[in-house]
Amino acid sequence: MSHKPVEYTEYLQLDKILQAQDLESDKQDAHAHDEMLFIIIHQAYELWFKQIHFEVDSALKVMGKPEVNDNSPELQTVVHRLGRVVTILKVLVHQIDILETMTPLDFYDFRDFLRPASGFQSWQFKMLEAKLGLKFDNRYGKEYYTSMLKPQYVDYVKQVENQPSLLEMLDAWLARMPFFEDASMWTDFKATNAEGPHHPFWNAYLNTYTDTLVEGEKHNRAVFEAIFLGTEKSDHTTLSTAAMRNALFISLYRGYPLLQLPFQMMQHLLDIDEQMATWRFRHINMVHRMIGSRVGTGGSSGKEYLQGALNKHYIFKDFALLSSFLMQRNHLPKLSTALHNKLGFV
């Protein structure tokens, strides 16, 4: 097979990339040295956002299938790629260090030339939030969050908002897991405290869990029943009851080989939330030290808007909520033989 030799500069299209830094301050005949850093750092962010979209899209492709084998190479790939997203996000958090070598005065040398451009117009960022699962109704400042975008970019964001998100796919995938549907899996399940109205396993778990609650936590029993055992989804969560139940089960018995991939998946999603929140937090602090209480170039209230988004834009918080309902491992009910064998590939 003939193969044209590839040249580094051409392959990476460096001629385009390295000529894509046009300083506004130069155009205004008021050269500001730090504007180069400002442009390059934003470009680097947008390139990494593109890579994150690439990884998340590939995860959506697999997770959107009606049947996903919980122990397939495909699922392994999804987990691996979500892990990569976490690693990229960690790098994005650290990149703020570089920008913070610019002082506010250095920034003011060119800030006015940029108006009204702002990271607020990063449609890749908004699309990422939507793809992961942030719904329009849950957005802070939803009245104006796309107000600064050109119509074509508003369309991009809206299109993604109208498609199933990773969170919704995950909900369906978790809810489908058949731990409690097949009665034959539980025939020899024995637990001393399994009396109650629910599946014997959950009766046993709930009764033991209740015994671990201290004063001030007693109401957790009712919340537990609402979240994990109700007939309808509770107001406490975004995920369905069945998905929450299976997510808790996976967290409790994650030592079983068959549950390891689903557990890692949940961990990565929690990490994504945590890294995005960490980035938001660092960004807010950077904004504060750069512009104090002045409004953003994108016209928002600046720090206040960003703080609102930080508090409200957690996407996978249901997985964090599970921790309220765990208990000491040596008190866990012993699984039935059939399920033990199935989860352990015996």
> Is 25 near ligand HEM (CB under 6 A)?
no
Residues between 200 and 239 that touch ligand HEM (CB under 6 A) = none
Least distance from C-beta 104 to ligand HEM, angstroms?
8
**Cβ pair 184, 342 in contact under 8 A:** no
**Among 226, 181, 233, 198, which Cα is nearest to 324's?**
226
> Is 260 near ligand HEM (CB under 6 A)?
no
> Is 42 near ligand HEM (CB under 6 A)?
yes
Q: How far is CA 75 from CA 64, 247, 251, in A?
A: 12, 16, 18
Which single residue is written with the structure tokens 């908002």? 161
The residue among 228 and 279 lying less far from ligand HEM, judged by its C-beta, is 279
> Is 299 near ligand HEM (CB under 6 A)?
yes
CA 43 – CA 49 distance, rounded (Å): 10
> Is 45 near ligand HEM (CB under 6 A)?
yes
CA 309 – CA 141 distance, rounded (Å): 8
CA 296 – CA 299 distance, rounded (Å): 5
The residue among 99 and 157 lying less far from ligand HEM, judged by its C-beta, is 99
The dihedral of CA 71, 77, 78, 80: what is its sign? positive
Of 40, 41, 154, 338, the one binding ligand HEM by CB under 6 A: 41
Number of Cβ within 10 Å of residue 32's Cβ equals 20
Least distance from C-beta 231 to ligand HEM, angstroms?
36
What is the DSSP-derived secondary structure letter of residue 326? -
Of 82, 169, 174, 306, the one binding ligand HEM by CB under 6 A: 306
> Is 131 near ligand HEM (CB under 6 A)?
no
CA 327 – CA 86 distance, rounded (Å): 28
The residue among 239 and 287 lying less far from ligand HEM, judged by its C-beta, is 287
Residues between 96 and 125 that touch ligand HEM (CB under 6 A) = 99, 107, 118-120, 122, 125
CA 310 – CA 284 distance, rounded (Å): 9
Least distance from C-beta 170 to ligand HEM, angstroms?
22
Least distance from C-beta 165 to ligand HEM, angstroms?
17
Cis peptide before 333 (omega within 30 of 0): no
Of 290, 322, 335, 339, the one binding ligand HEM by CB under 6 A: 290
Binding site for ligand HEM (CB under 6 A): 41-42, 45, 99, 107, 118-120, 122, 125, 283, 286-287, 290-291, 296-300, 302, 305-306, 309
